[in-house]
Amino acid sequence: MKGRDVIVIGAGVLGLSVAYHAALSGADVTVVEKAEIGSGSSSGNAGLVVPSFFEPLPSPGVIREALGQVLDPEGFFGIRPRLDPSLLRWLLQFARFSNRGHYTKAVNLFLRLNEEGLEDHLRMAAAAGGQYGFSQKGLLFLFLSQERFDEGKRKAERGSREGIASQVLSGDEVRDQEPGAGERVAGGIRYCKDAMLQPALFLQYLRNQAERLGAKILSKTEVYGFRKNRGRVTALLTTRGVHKPDQVVLATGAWTRTVGRLLGVNLPVEGGKGISLTFRNPQLALRQPLILDEHVAISPFPDALRVTGVLELAGLDMTLDPARVDGLQRKAAAYLPGVNALQPEEVWRGLRPCVPDGLPLLGRLRPYGNVIVASGHDTRGISLGLVTGRYVARMLNGESLQGLEKMLSPNRF
């Protein structure tokens, strides 16, 4: 490995995946994390591995849909009002990328990454032998209205032309498969290849594997500055000492803009705050994870049910809004009436790292010769974490991104 001594900043799913793959290819890896492992957005999420999510966030029609939600205090989409020019710039760029041409390019990219991402997950899960609850039982999208169900069918047809297998189920067929589903459910579409895992256990597994290969993981260690010389980062200033690595990887999720500023570069990552409610040992069993038409996911873990949703452009704000928390449970109960009676044991929030063109930031960061960015995976960091880590390990070795450089470049804005 060229430049063996690698520091990864951030111990979310991206940082740990990078650490694992880089250590596997022979690097001396240290991960520095300002809080605890998984304390960003990587542990309380829905844990879905979703090759069926092949559309970018900015897409034709999305602005109209978002405007319809933004004034609804319980809506799935929101913007935390603030006077911040970088938010305004982000929104304008997002609007610019919500066009057909960009959408088509992004779909092609995600089809490729999703397929590789699933293969990586299947390989790792086979080696892990059930340690983090990986299962590939498909993902069932549910609809309350016939009109939306018909739209869902059209999307599934588009997906099937791209090799994404799905099954259309009537309302009664949904209730046969999932007896907890209510009478209002008009129908469902099951994406057969999708999978799920328990995110906190997955992070623990990645951590163990990286450490087994010699990686060091330092929690409560925040990077607050960099020393630079002649187009290279020569040192990282952390709250627990100075590090002088050969190469640096930024896997800092929603904080990537802040860390970018320390390096004097613009990395337009906005926090898309999401919420999860975890109900322990509920009397409500599901055979497979669900996505409700209101952009709510329901993940059945062995001892818990987790309901996730909401995307509020919030910067780094972590406030929990009671209306959105209640709204999430109410929306889930419209499809699964049994959810009404449950009390969440944990209410969690996390910041999805969102980039205005909906694509990850992955590649070498100009003007530095030894800094790589791996961030901006918005709603798909669990799905694409492993494949991204594998690509970063290649880049650390001086190899190319195999045709993806331009689209994913962190210098593209």
List contacts with ligand FAD (CB under 6 A). Answer: 9-15, 32-35, 39-42, 45-48, 222-223, 251-255, 259, 274-276, 297, 308, 350, 352-353, 375, 377-383
Single-letter code of the amino acid located at 249: V
| Strand, coil or helix: 211 | helix
- H-helix or E-strand containing 97? helix 85-97
Smallest distance, ligand FAD to C-beta of residue 228, A: 16
Give the separation between CA 160 and CA 52, rounded to whole angstroms: 10
Nearer to ligand FAD, 15 or 171 (CB): 15
How near is the Cβ of 91 to ligand FAD at its closest, in Å?
A: 19
Rounded Cα distance between 15 and 29, Å, is: 11
For 389, the 3-state DSSP assignment is helix
Minimum distance of ligand FAD from residue 325's CB (angstroms): 12
Radius of gyration of the chain (CA): 21
In the complex, least distance from residue 251 CB atom to ligand FAD, rounded to whole angstroms: 5
Could you tell me if 276 and 324 are in contact, meaning their C-beta atoms sit under 8 angstroms apart? no
- Distance, in Å, from the CA atom of 359 to the CA atom of 8, rounded to the nearest integer, reads 21
- Cβ nearer to ligand FAD, comparing 252 with 278: 252
16 vs 342 by CB, closer to ligand FAD? 16
User: Residue 127 or residue 318: which is nearer to ligand FAD going by CB?
Assistant: 318
For residues 43 and 79, what is the distance between their CA atoms, to the nearest angstrom?
23
Cα 248 from Cα 109, distance rounded (Å): 26
**Contact in structure between 209 and 202 (CB atoms under 8 Å):** no
**What is the nearest approach in angstroms of ligand FAD to the Cβ of residue 37?**
7
Q: Which is nearer to ligand FAD, 182 or 358 (CB)?
A: 358
Q: Measured from the CB atom, is 106 or 251 closer to ligand FAD? A: 251
- End-to-end CA distance of the chain: give it in Å, rounded: 30
From the CB of 363, what's the least distance to ligand FAD, in Å? 15
